[in-house]
A and B are shown apart, each in its own frame.
Chain A
């Protein structure tokens, strides 16, 4: 063999091996943007080929709103939320393409539309990495890198003199190992990372936001960062539409509920744009089915109860589509989905969440009564709430309502109440399990006085057989932490207190090994300089 040819072949082999080593090493020597949001899309690659009926793409506003598992349980179609944080439409386009590689039989693709108007330019590396790093190497990934990473690469190299060159930015996405050198160490965690996806892949791409709030001022007209549809969104919406048409997939666009991010003008702008291009838009803005109890604290997105509602509402829309034909699946696939559903319910149970319709979700002590929240059937239903005092009294009807919550103010301090719900849906009756709660009035008054020893707190102790819990927090963003629990009604706080601290006193009783709390007394603060 000619020495020149030999050299070329050897060089080629050398670089092929180097390429393989770089791709392979990327599994370990990669910046791990850990956190469930970043890791959820990885689960997609574990789905059985051509087993899905529906693919949902978009930002956090879809992967915190829709649960494929709950949809499967109630409606039987299989879906996956292939979403990433801050997913712009260019990323959605490549995710759609990526999805079609292994799920060629998809009937419907649902595009979440929050990022038609939102989104920063350029995207932060975190978002690009969470979108790109877990994608297996392919031509689609390369195209996505040069497209999605373009803004970052150009911005970084022109604005920030310490930033890497454009070529290095792209290379860092192709070979994540190139970004490894900024990491501090290589730990067992790095090795486990790629084998340890059981914990999040079972949700099929959903991140359940579990907290909820009761904030009367919260409404759909929240913060609005976007002002108009971005050019990028227009460009890639058309690409997504074309791709859907080419692949024979029905495209629908939705605006999943978000109490902070949407307003009527924005929704209409997106809706008219989408409909002008012949694509169906499902509008959830201002939907009466969602209340403040369906929203997650701080984020404005849906909590577990909201997810349950939204999944049902959207699933019904999907089921009405003639394009959706639920594919028969193998027994092992069905078994796997059923196991995942069991696991989800187990997980919810462990966290004391009940999401089945007609069941009481929770009871909470309020200042003037007990707040009872149940899961809505989202039909033209009537609910009858029944209550019994202790085990001695018969159940009596408290209220008949079409709402999914009730504040029971006809309650007496220290009494143990039991509730169950009767649901009347389309003339059919169903009954919830019994839930109970002990109503405790808030602590009436608190006196405080600074002494040489510290802060002397005295509170009302007219209630019998209760425990008083003093809690404190240093600043408004922190949670309250327990200072101590007392039977008497006095405490001298001598703790370290550089600035000021907020306090509250809570009453508590224990019945049948379960502890019940009053709504806390009004906050009072202590400043060392007082």
Chain B
């Protein structure tokens, strides 16, 4: 029951209708039942792991809150965190480690099992819950039932956003306004547009290039890698919007998970705009406890590298993900060195304002720099393993073949059923058109809450727009037979 399936939309509609009809008191029970049905529809047997995590963490958290002054609390907290992390390692890293160690052995020797869906997200949320309980940051009173709902709440259980208990629990049982419902529905619709019309169409091109990198020119792989960054954005931001919109239908509001990351002028800013819930978590529960930037430059470097290394291995269990994480850490450190240098240099001299035109140029240049550098890191992320990453890098360096790439593009534009990166001219036209629409809407939504503005418009303006979006998704979306059933990229983490 992935978010862009008819099954999910039907499920959501049924739960929403029931939620609206039943008394307020029993609504959370309905949501818990719905959440477990949702989770079990993916992995029935592994629902037991979810139940174990809920019971175990509730008991620890309860104990932590009950005996605030107890000296054993720190040990209890550590125990809780270790058990959670061990469980994550057990499911996520042991099979990967075994695959690495027994690379050349028969499959029988390799350890393999299926990881419970959303485990990485659930574990991070639970760690934040334990730490907040220990630090007494959860100010609201809550029951075991509330806690079950916090962990299992279906709009976020599989793929986030990572929501802290202190943000979620106060919202349980809150009155659901019509506006929240309307805005939630708009969010879901736009999320589906981002995922099905833009991201999944980009995926057709990217998957073609990455599935056979040895047959691609260097330029094709560069284009595919840049496109992958955009695909990932539309995919995950789309998913997040569906999750945010779904939660709103039940009166729960999540923070934004993306804020136009590709408009960032530095890599550090990029990470404040990309997958915000994860990066805030890393900041609060890893980077700052390690000391952040307060303990000198050397320690800062180590803390950044540790934080991004954790981010890397959280995303995937191969070396390529570790390299991806560390690369981002290195960028941020280099930016820090440069800004320190600039600061030092400008000390004592009057700050000169750059002319307006020049300033725009500089900002654009910085954005291009961020896009190029971040896209380079996506190469490791998309390749998923070191061997594939090396193949792609080798071809980018040694087999650029710009003329061949241009010929392929030219033939595709000229028609004759020619394709470029597996897509014909029609697909490219649809992609470019709706990508531009998506970006324009995103840019406008930077400064204005477009969803709320649209909701407040009269029906004769609002409904035609919604119908158009629905029909664009239906007619130009990538789904059903003929295309691969695309699941959301972040589901695998």
Cβ < 8 Å to A, chain B residues 441-490: 459, 463, 466-467, 470-471, 474-485
B7 within 8 A of A: yes
Contact of B480 among A14, A25, A29, A179 (CB under 8 A): A179
> Contact: A178 with B467, CB < 8 Å?
no
Q: Taking A177-B474, A181-B477, A181-B478 as contacts, is the C-beta distance between A7 and B181 under 8 angstroms?
A: yes
Please give the distance in Å from A129's CB to the nearest CB on chain B. Answer: 12
A457 within 8 A of B: no
What residue in chain B is nearest A3 (Cβ atoms)?
B178
- CB-defined contacts of B476 to chain A, threshold 8 Å: 181
Distance, CA A163 to CA B5, complexed state (A): 13
- CB-defined contacts of B474 to chain A, threshold 8 Å: 22, 175, 177-178, 180-181
Q: Taking A4-B20, A29-B475 as contacts, is the C-beta distance between A21 and B483 under 8 angstroms?
A: no
Total A-B Cβ pairs within 8 A: 69
Contact of A164 among B459, B463, B470, B480 (CB under 8 A): B480
B351 within 8 A of A: no
Distance, CA A72 to CA B467, complexed state (A): 49
Distance, CA A180 to CA B484, complexed state (A): 16
Please give the distance in Å from A4's CB to the nearest CB on chain B. Answer: 7
Distance, CA A177 to CA B470, complexed state (A): 12
Please give the distance in Å from B475's CB to the nearest CB on chain A. Answer: 6
- CB-defined contacts of A10 to chain B, threshold 8 Å: 459
> Contact: A167 with B479, CB < 8 Å?
no
- CB-defined contacts of B7 to chain A, threshold 8 Å: 165, 167
- CB-defined contacts of B5 to chain A, threshold 8 Å: 165, 167-168
Contact with B along A168-196 (1 / 0, CB 8 A): 10011001011111101100000000000
Q: Taking A3-B178, A4-B20, A165-B6 as contacts, is the C-beta distance between A181 and B481 under 8 angstroms?
A: no
> Contact: B485 with A156, CB < 8 Å?
no
> Contact: B6 with A171, CB < 8 Å?
yes
- CB-defined contacts of A21 to chain B, threshold 8 Å: 467, 471
B137 within 8 A of A: no
- CB-defined contacts of A163 to chain B, threshold 8 Å: 481, 485
B360 within 8 A of A: no
Distance, CA A156 to CA B240, complexed state (A): 29
> Contact: B480 with A181, CB < 8 Å?
yes
Interface centre among B10, B480, B482, B483 (most CB of A within 10 A): B480
Distance, CA A25 to CA B476, complexed state (A): 14
A478 within 8 A of B: no
Please give the distance in Å from B477's CB to the nearest CB on chain A. Answer: 6
> Contact: B181 with A18, CB < 8 Å?
no
User: In which size bucket is the chain B interface?
Assistant: 20 to 34
B426 within 8 A of A: yes
Distance, CA A171 to CA B481, complexed state (A): 13
> Contact: A161 with B480, CB < 8 Å?
no
A8 within 8 A of B: yes
- CB-defined contacts of B467 to chain A, threshold 8 Å: 17-18, 21
Q: Looking at chain B's contact residues, is the secondary structure mostly helix, strand, loop, or mixed?
A: helix
Distance, CA A25 to CA B473, complexed state (A): 14
Distance, CA A95 to CA B10, complexed state (A): 30
Cβ < 8 Å to B, chain A residues 207-250: none
> Contact: A184 with B6, CB < 8 Å?
no
Distance, CA A323 to CA B467, complexed state (A): 52
Please give the distance in Å from A352's CB to the nearest CB on chain B. Answer: 39
- CB-defined contacts of A167 to chain B, threshold 8 Å: 5-7, 10
> Contact: A162 with B463, CB < 8 Å?
no
- CB-defined contacts of B480 to chain A, threshold 8 Å: 164, 168, 172, 178-179, 181-182
Please give the distance in Å from B260's CB to the nearest CB on chain A. Answer: 28
Please give the distance in Å from A462's CB to the nearest CB on chain B. Answer: 53
> Contact: B481 with A156, CB < 8 Å?
yes
> Contact: B481 with A8, CB < 8 Å?
no
Contact of B471 among A25, A161, A172, A185 (CB under 8 A): A25
> Contact: A7 with B178, CB < 8 Å?
yes
What residue in chain B is nearest A183 (Cβ atoms)?
B475
- CB-defined contacts of B478 to chain A, threshold 8 Å: 181
> Contact: B463 with A182, CB < 8 Å?
no
Contact with B along A19-32 (1 / 0, CB 8 A): 00110010001000
> Contact: B475 with A181, CB < 8 Å?
yes
Distance, CA A125 to CA B480, complexed state (A): 13
Cβ < 8 Å to A, chain B residues 263-311: none
Distance, CA A18 to CA B481, complexed state (A): 23
What residue in chain A is nearest B178 (Cβ atoms)?
A7
What residue in chain A is nearest B473 (Cβ atoms)?
A181
- CB-defined contacts of A14 to chain B, threshold 8 Å: 463, 466
What residue in chain B is nearest A6 (Cβ atoms)?
B178
> Contact: A168 with B470, CB < 8 Å?
no
Q: Taking A21-B471, A162-B485, A165-B6 as contacts, is the C-beta distance between A181 and B479 under 8 angstroms?
A: yes
Contact with A along B211-237 (1 / 0, CB 8 A): 000000000000000000000000000
- CB-defined contacts of B20 to chain A, threshold 8 Å: 4, 7-8
What residue in chain A is nearest B427 (Cβ atoms)?
A184
30 A-B contact pairs sorted by A residue (CB < 8 Å): A3-B178, A7-B20, A7-B181, A17-B467, A18-B470, A22-B474, A161-B485, A162-B481, A162-B484, A163-B485, A164-B485, A165-B5, A165-B7, A167-B6, A168-B480, A171-B6, A177-B474, A179-B480, A179-B481, A180-B474, A180-B475, A181-B474, A181-B475, A181-B479, A182-B480, A182-B481, A182-B482, A182-B483, A184-B426, A185-B426
Given contacts A17-B467, A164-B481, A172-B480, 11 further A-B contacts (CB under 8 A): A3-B178, A17-B463, A29-B475, A161-B485, A162-B481, A162-B483, A164-B479, A165-B5, A167-B7, A180-B475, A182-B480
Q: Mark A residues whose CB is within 8 Å of B.
A: 3-4, 6-8, 10, 14, 17-18, 21-22, 25, 29, 125, 156, 161-165, 167-168, 171-172, 175, 177-182, 184-185
- Report the 7 A-B pairs with minimum CB-CB distance, sorted nearest first: A167-B6, A164-B480, A182-B482, A162-B484, A7-B178, A167-B7, A164-B481
